[in-house]
A = this chain, B = another copy of it.
Amino acid sequence: MIETDIDLLKGIANQLRIHSISSTTAAGSGHPTSCCSMADLMAALFFGHMRYDAKNPKYHNNDRFVLSKGHAAPILYAAWAEAGLFPVEELQKLRRIDSDLEGHPTPRLPFADVATGSLGQGLGVGVGIALAGRLDKLDYNTYVLLGDGEIAEGAVWEAASLAGIYKLKNLIAIVDANRLGQSQATAFGHETTVYVNRFKAFGWRVEEVDGHDIEEILEVLSGVGINDQPLAIIAKTYKGGGVSFLQDKDGWHGKPLNKEEAAKAIAELQPTAKSASGVAIPTPSALPAPANATPSSYPPINYKLGDLIATREAYGTALVRIGEADQRIVAMDGDTKNSTYAEKFFKKFPERFTECFIAEQNLVAVAVGFGTRGKVPFASTFATFFTRAFDHIRVAGISMANLKLVGSHVGVSIGEDGPSQMALEDLAMMRAVAGSVVLYPSDAVSAEKLLEVMASTRGIFFLRTSRPKTPVIYGNDEKFPIGGANVVRQNAGDKVTVVGAGVTLHEAIKAADALAKEGIGITVVDAYSIKPIGKDVIKAAAAKTNNLVVTVEEHYADGGLGDAVAGELSSEGVKVHKLAVRELPRSGKAEELLAKFGIDAAAIAKKVKSLV
């Protein structure tokens, strides 16, 4: 790198600072000082090191950049504008309702693979992107820029550990150690040795740099990929760096400068600032894109009515079947693959499976990362352990991610392991994710068919599987559209419509048999689609039972199936009576617990009788 280039990059860094300051001042909010600390890093990365097509941010060979410290969005936007993707004038629309230049980046922008802003999530996504690159034999690198405050998040260390284990030499973490958090200094300030030692202990090669010395930054970047470890660059920087009255000063987090202050800062920066226009950005390779085509069909299934198969096992079987037809499918699990049955896929396609160990946040982040690269990622663990990753799943919603979550061991029917292993809140959680679809099969056929829907439809899906074996109740050609429901028992003169799913559907069927003997008919509906709920089917069934509905679910009473039905249909005059787990459960046999917590066939029959 020749001397004049360094001066140019220094000038670009100041130009990025100017954009960050002026756009946040125009917006009246934002984090200009968090941008200034990383301006030299950004200039070096975007205009002196990374290989990408600035006009085509989605090009498959581009190096990837994840801004984990999403509050520094203005400088990310400034970099892409300076790279020529859009006019720099657009930057002045920052944070306006009519602009996609939001307060934190989202994939509404073509260069943001994922939404960031909830701290500590970027590195795990980077791990997924790096693994996808390795799988696809592409040579892009993945750069993740983190703040020093955010590496207090455990999710960062889950990701760091896995990157070390899998020797992701195509992953680079850059820590902008600017010493100052939101409400006070970080715990370690500029004692950057702490970060160096941590990344080393997690299996990374580590370099320390002066984050305002572009020559030093470029030198370290030139060593990317030289050994078989991921690389962490710990950059000592100053918050507000480059502006005399902001640099390293307390009290400037998340505050825009007023107009006078902005003018003063810009006057300091302007003399050395340089436009990036005309800078030759290194060209990415021309390796062929992976064949990420959607198959037109899947191999058929062949179950017999009455076969006893747990839906969790049907998941494993289905994933192998669908995975044969669809090369895009990859899977990952958190050391529960022998219980979730993801192991079947692992054994068949080991190269498309990622063991994420006991680290569910990272499990989801890795899946999201794969999803950004055209893969269809299926992440599985016990359903209740996805609560560990709720923030990641929530943000995946903002990322409009292609993400398939499969949670097993739901409800009290898991039995003796007790409440810590029982998913009783997962429906509430997953329903509350933006744009999510929540599916809940009751037999092997519906599990297999719903998995086809998940694999072939873009978006965030959650499949809830059960531990006990349940009988096959559907023919092999049954359809299970999203937002549907199936009437599995209905006779003229039915008094109540009972809506179940999973294990409770079978309890409802048993209740129907028992009640029939007493001359009480009930309609039974399988609500396999929890979100969107199968409202048309349920409404039509309810209309024939005097609008009386009983819901029964292996879930707490709040936010699950009952609320889904009531929330959708109470406005239509449907009267919904909820049977659900209403107290803290405990260990015991599955059938004992279903009875004790009032969601077995007897409880359903009792409730029905109280209503007719």
Q: Which residues of A contact B (CB under 8 A)?
A: 27-30, 70, 95-97, 99-100, 102-104, 106, 108, 115-120, 149-150, 152-158, 161, 165, 181-184, 186-187, 194, 197-198, 200-203, 333, 335-339, 343, 355, 357-362, 384-385, 387-388, 390-391, 394-395, 397-398, 400, 415-421, 424-425, 428-429, 431-435, 531, 556-560, 562-564, 566-567, 569-578, 583-584, 586-589, 592-593, 596
A and B contact pairs by CB, cutoff 8 A, 15 listed? A103-B418, A106-B420, A120-B358, A152-B357, A152-B358, A152-B359, A153-B388, A183-B336, A198-B201, A198-B202, A384-B391, A388-B390, A394-B425, A428-B431, A569-B570
In Å, the complex CA distance between A424 and B118 comes to 14
Residues from chain B with a CB closer than 8 A to the CB of A203 are: 194
Contact A97-B592, Cβ < 8 Å, known A29-B416, A394-B425, A420-B104: yes
Structural contact, B577 and A558, CB atoms closer than 8 A: no
Please name the residue on chain B nearest to A95 by beta carbon.
B416
Please name the residue on chain B nearest to A195 by beta carbon.
B201
Please name the residue on chain B nearest to A100 by beta carbon.
B586
In Å, the complex CA distance between A569 and B575 comes to 8
Residues from chain B with a CB closer than 8 A to the CB of A395 are: 420
Residues from chain B with a CB closer than 8 A to the CB of A432 are: 424-425, 428-429, 556, 558-560
Please name the residue on chain B nearest to A582 by beta carbon.
B434
Residue with the greatest number of chain B CB neighbours at <10 A, chosen from A152, A156, A570 = A570
In Å, the complex CA distance between A336 and B182 comes to 6
Residues from chain B with a CB closer than 8 A to the CB of A150 are: 358
Structural contact, A573 and B576, CB atoms closer than 8 A: no
A333: min CB distance to chain B, Å: 7
9 closest Cβ contacts across the A-B interface? A154-B154, A97-B588, A117-B420, A570-B570, A425-B432, A428-B432, A559-B559, A431-B558, A102-B587
Residues from chain B with a CB closer than 8 A to the CB of A571 are: 566, 575-578
A426: min CB distance to chain B, Å: 8
Residue with the greatest number of chain B CB neighbours at <10 A, chosen from A117, A395, A416, A592 = A416
Q: Which of B557, B566, B583, B586 contacts A102 (CB 8 A)?
A: B586
A217: min CB distance to chain B, Å: 24
In Å, the complex CA distance between A397 and B387 comes to 13
In Å, the complex CA distance between A117 and B572 comes to 43
Residues from chain B with a CB closer than 8 A to the CB of A391 are: 360, 384-385, 387-388, 390
Structural contact, A183 and B564, CB atoms closer than 8 A: no
Contact A161-B155, Cβ < 8 Å, known A201-B200, A570-B570: no
Please name the residue on chain B nearest to A108 by beta carbon.
B586
Structural contact, B570 and A574, CB atoms closer than 8 A: yes
Q: Which of B108, B154, B425 contacts A361 (CB 8 A)?
A: B154
Q: Which of B99, B387, B559 contacts A431 (CB 8 A)?
A: B559
A592: min CB distance to chain B, Å: 5
Structural contact, A155 and B152, CB atoms closer than 8 A: no
A387: min CB distance to chain B, Å: 4
Structural contact, B564 and A558, CB atoms closer than 8 A: yes
Q: Using A104-B420, A181-B358 as known contacts, list a sample of 20 further A-B pairs with CB atoms less than 8 Å apart, ordered by residue number in A.
A: A97-B586, A104-B417, A106-B419, A149-B357, A152-B335, A152-B359, A153-B358, A183-B336, A184-B355, A187-B357, A197-B200, A197-B201, A198-B201, A390-B390, A390-B425, A424-B432, A431-B558, A566-B567, A566-B576, A567-B578
Residues from chain B with a CB closer than 8 A to the CB of A181 are: 335, 357-358
Please name the residue on chain B nearest to A151 by beta carbon.
B358
Structural contact, B388 and A118, CB atoms closer than 8 A: yes
A45: min CB distance to chain B, Å: 23
Structural contact, A339 and B583, CB atoms closer than 8 A: no
Residue with the greatest number of chain B CB neighbours at <10 A, chosen from A116, A153, A397, A558 = A558
In Å, the complex CA distance between A359 and B119 comes to 9
